[in-house]
Structure 1
Amino acid sequence: MPLSHTVLKSLLGAWALSACSAAETEAVEDHLTGCAPCAEEALRLRNAVSLLHEDRDLDLDPMLRFRVLDNCLKRRPARIPVPAWAAPYDAETARLDALLRDIGESEWHAPVRLKWYEDDALVRRKSTVAGVIGHLLAVDGLVSGALGLADPLGPDVPELTPTERTESFWKALDRPPNRTLRAPWRDQSHALVQTVSVAGPGAADLTVTYGEFALPLQDALLERAFECWVHAEDIANAVAYPYDPPSGPHLRGMIDLAARLLPGALAHRRRSGRAAPPRRLVAAGSPGRSLHLEVEGVGGGHWYIALDSPAALGSPDHTVAQVAMDGVEFCRLVAGHISPQEAAAGQDGDREAIHDVLTTAASLSRL
């Protein structure tokens, strides 16, 4: 007679200490493959037991939880919630996959015009629907590598920028990109979501290196969600498919990420002589000036962008300029789909600061 949930839960402590009989061990481990709460409790108990050994490193591997649960999930999937910081990526990849499922064979070869800002000029690149999916597959591989999953470019790939990864992936194909890329892209996105869902909170701070810069995993997945949406719109436009922006909370997260990246990107532009030098309002060590970014519409809010130090937090007390614009339009500026001149619906204050922030926002874009 099968053991009840209550009985199996009571055996978890003994199971963690390897004190169950063979039959009890088999019953408990079979139960863990389908009961996420018990699987989590079993992991906590096993971790507690491991801490009793003084020769063990007390800094637990953030991927330990993933390895334990992944072994169970290979036998039978259980319902495990996606962490909130991975939800935008999960949603945007699912929406794009639904679009791809609806298009015909010939539409995979429809021309797609990619565009972004580089050296303060609009850059255009011709591709196809399938080529764009290859691009997403290649760059998402940066996150796969950080999580120890297979890289679509193969093993022992040197450190490359997203653009270099894309070019390398396209060149390695033995035929023009086609609809066969949908399956590996979809499988990789599913693997990423599943992995971060069972890896535990420690995974959020793993580092994803983009070649020229790095982001913590939770920001990297948000950045990948943003690019998935942007390129899904590119594809939708190419095949005349209706496509909506992300949900309000997800769009707000994407705007917040861009706002957090702006001070560092502005400092980088200054070092190359493309932005005005910083100006202190008071004594050295002060937070310096801020620009008030007011984003309207879905996902909107207020952000204060530090103008004079990449490490400082913007302050409403030292605001010298204000820019008001729609949230979707701001994201299109960050994606390089519209120019800084087209972007701002309302501007007030220091014109130089406004110009520097808007051009810096456009400079965040890339292939």
Structure 2
Amino acid sequence: MSGDAERIRAHVEDCADCAEELGRLREAVHRLDGPPAAPAKGARRGADKVGRGRLMAAARAARTGHDAPAAHAAPYAAAVASLEALLRELDGTPARWGTPVVHDWDVQGTVAHLIAADEPLAERLGMLPVTRAEAGGTGDAAPWEVRWAARTEEVVAYEHTRPPTETAEAWWTQAHGLLDLPEARAEEPASLPTALMGKRLPVADHYVIRAFETWIHTRDIGRALGLTVPSPPPVHLQRLVALAVRIVDLALGDGTRPVLLGVEGAAGGDWVLGPAAEPVAAELVLDAVDLCLLVGGRLTPQEVSRGQAGDAAAAQHVLATAASLAWL
């Protein structure tokens, strides 16, 4: 065992959170890997070692130390490791890359979409584009939703001219490039605000958004392939939930009656949404994962399980606002 692996093992033995996460990752790898497949020609790594490599990479991302991502980037590191594990399932079955996933994207198109979705943060932080897809003429003055949709369409169309393994390689290169930046390794450089996708937030929050979207689309791919993708561990889900609640609160607008939102589970908490000076008009209780799926556009207000009391219209307004934020 290398010295690096020895340090990981020692840390996991002393850290309950990392031990729990490592257990989840082991379970996910066992479910997703199946029997070992023969290495594909031109694969970027030895396929016979990729399962162990993924597990160790994920453990390395979860540990403390100078090589580990900072807390704000750890959920993204884990989401990237999860998608890597899922794409490994496609080794030896190239036809499955064409499985329909979401919107009009197949598996390859969904991975290509993630390339396009990660690209604004990567470029803002000084990285070069990983795809040669030519940019269209929407212009910087167009609304971000228009520019985002156009860029996704360009990248998806371009990546479909290439082998799926090259699309996966491009996504992997960009994702790990983001995780290698100083903004992913330390809190101070990630504290500076920047405007991306219509939101001016600290860079740290944009890393959480990247984690959110990567997990949602990994889940989409898993469901399309008939595989279960674990939810983020509580320590990461807490960050996704806290950011989702903050963005929903900002989006509620004037005239909103305050609602006490309780999020259940280890990743949960209680928040008052709306004007703090007014009395609470309603109480709403949601599961942490359900809240994220609502904000991510994977559950509707009618589908989400909830506890509710008080002013039904005020509670419904919170649910409708959360659902309206979905762009995934």
Answer whether TM exceeds 0.5 for this pair: yes
1:105 aligns with 94
Q: Work out whether residues 70 and 185 of structure 2, in 8 Å CA contact, stay in contact via their aligned partners in 1.
A: no
Matches within 5 A, 1:120-159: 125-152=103-130, 159=140
Letter of the 2:229 counterpart: Y
Letter of the 1:278 counterpart: G
Structure 2 CA distance for partners of 1:177 and 1:185, relative to 1, 3 Å: same
Structure 2 CA distance for partners of 1:233 and 1:186, relative to 1, 3 Å: same
* 1:141-164 CA-partner distances (Å, limit 9, x unpaired): 111012101134569965454323
1: CA distance between counterparts of 2:95 and 2:175? 24
- TM-score scaled to structure 2, two decimals? 0.71
**1:185 shift after superposition:** 0.6
* Matched position secondary structure for 2:255: coil
1: CA distance between counterparts of 2:305 and 2:290? 8
2: CA distance between counterparts of 1:99 and 1:198? 23
Structure 1: gaps spanning 5 or more residues = 1-77, 115-124, 268-276, 280-288, 309-313
1: CA distance between counterparts of 2:94 and 2:266? 35
2: CA distance between counterparts of 1:291 and 1:201? 32
2: CA distance between counterparts of 1:174 and 1:340? 35
* Matched position secondary structure for 1:84: coil
Match of 2:173 among 187, 192, 200: 187
Pair 1:291-2:269 in alignment: no
Matches within 5 A, 1:43-62: none
Match of 1:325 among 282, 286, 289: 286
1: CA distance between counterparts of 2:188 and 2:133? 25
Letter of the 1:138 counterpart: A
Letter of the 1:150 counterpart: L
Report percent identity of matched pairs.
Answer: 33
1: CA distance between counterparts of 2:187 and 2:134? 28
Structure 2 CA distance for partners of 1:351 and 1:365, relative to 1, 3 Å: same
Pair 1:214-2:200 in alignment: yes
**1:92 shift after superposition:** 0.6
Letter of the 2:264 counterpart: E
2:325 aligns with 364
2: CA distance between counterparts of 1:263 and 1:203? 26
Q: Work out whether residues 292 and 302 of structure 1, in 8 Å CA contact, stay in contact via their aligned partners in 2.
A: yes
Matches within 5 A, 1:252-291: 252-267=238-253, 278=255, 289-291=257-259
Letter of the 1:167 counterpart: E
2:271 aligns with 303
Match of 1:92 among 62, 72, 79: 79
1:81 aligns with 68
1: CA distance between counterparts of 2:207 and 2:106? 24
Q: Work out whether residues 237 and 267 of structure 2, in 8 Å CA contact, stay in contact via their aligned partners in 1.
A: yes
Q: Work out whether residues 290 and 320 of structure 1, in 8 Å CA contact, stay in contact via their aligned partners in 2.
A: yes
Measured on the aligned residues, the alpha-carbon RMSD in Å equals: 2.5
**1:192 shift after superposition:** 0.6
* Matched position secondary structure for 1:342: coil
Structure 2 CA distance for partners of 1:253 and 1:320, relative to 1, 3 Å: same
* 1:145-195 CA-partner distances (Å, limit 9, x unpaired): 121011345699654543232122223446277232111111111111110
Moved over 6 A (4+): none
**1:305 shift after superposition:** 1.0
Structure 2 CA distance for partners of 1:340 and 1:167, relative to 1, 3 Å: same
